[in-house]
């Protein structure tokens, strides 16, 4: 394999990794519902590596997600309002691009939730151990 092919593979992994990071963050956004995630997923799947755009009509999104056109419009507006996507209207297919600004904050949020779960688990473990050592007796 020549060096150019190796570079293309690394670029593809980076591009795909960024889309996966975006999808993971979007799925963790507590203000996004499942339809918005599905529409976002559909858009992200179609993002071109070179142009960083997806060219999709509402009909194509409906075919891929089985969401009604009004549902797609609501989801798209929610995604835009929360800063996940933007687009330019055209006569046929809209030109979409994903926005990465929220990814870091949602990763941080997920890490905070995990630390809280871990701390709660440790407290329960310690309480159970204390209960077992004292034979269930309390002072």
Break the chain into its structural domains and give their ranges. Answer: 3-101
Q: What pLDDT, on a 0 to 100 scale, did the predictor assign at position 1?
A: 40
Residue from 81, 99, 68, 78 nearest 33 by CA: 78
> Between 107 and 96, whose confidence is greater?
96
Averaged pLDDT score across all residues of the chain: 88
Which of the given ranges, 93-97, 101-105, 125-129, has the highest pLDDT on average?
Answer: 93-97
Task: Residue 109: count other Cβ atoms within 10 Å of its Cβ.
Answer: 15
pLDDT-derived band at 9, boundaries 50, 70, 90: low
Q: Return the minimum-mean-pLDDT range out of 69-73, 109-113, 117-121, 129-133.
A: 129-133
- Both structure tokens of 60: 């194509």
The CATH number corresponding to 3-101 among 2.60.40.650, 1.10.3720.10, 1.10.10.10, 2.40.50.140 equals 1.10.10.10
3-state secondary structure of 54: strand
Residue in 36, 39, 34, 81 with CA at minimum distance from that of residue 56: 39
């Amino acid at each position: 394999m020549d060096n150019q092919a190796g570079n293309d593979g690394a670029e593809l992994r980076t591009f795909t990794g960024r889309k996966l990071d975006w999808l993971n963050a979007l799925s963790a956004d507590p203000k996004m519902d499942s339809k918005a995630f599905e529409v976002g997923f559909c858009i992200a799947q179609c993002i071109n590596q070179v142009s960083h755009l997806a060219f999709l009509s509402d009909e194509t999104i409906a075919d891929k997600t089985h969401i009604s056109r009004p549902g797609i419009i609501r989801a798209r507006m929610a995604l835009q309002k929360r800063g996940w996507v933007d687009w330019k209207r055209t006569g046929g297919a809209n030109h979409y691009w994903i926005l990465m600004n929220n990814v870091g904050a949602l990763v941080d949020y997920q890490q905070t939730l995990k630390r809280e779960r871990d701390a709660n688990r440790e407290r329960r473990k310690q309480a159970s151990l204390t209960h077992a050592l004292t034979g269930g007796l309390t002072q």
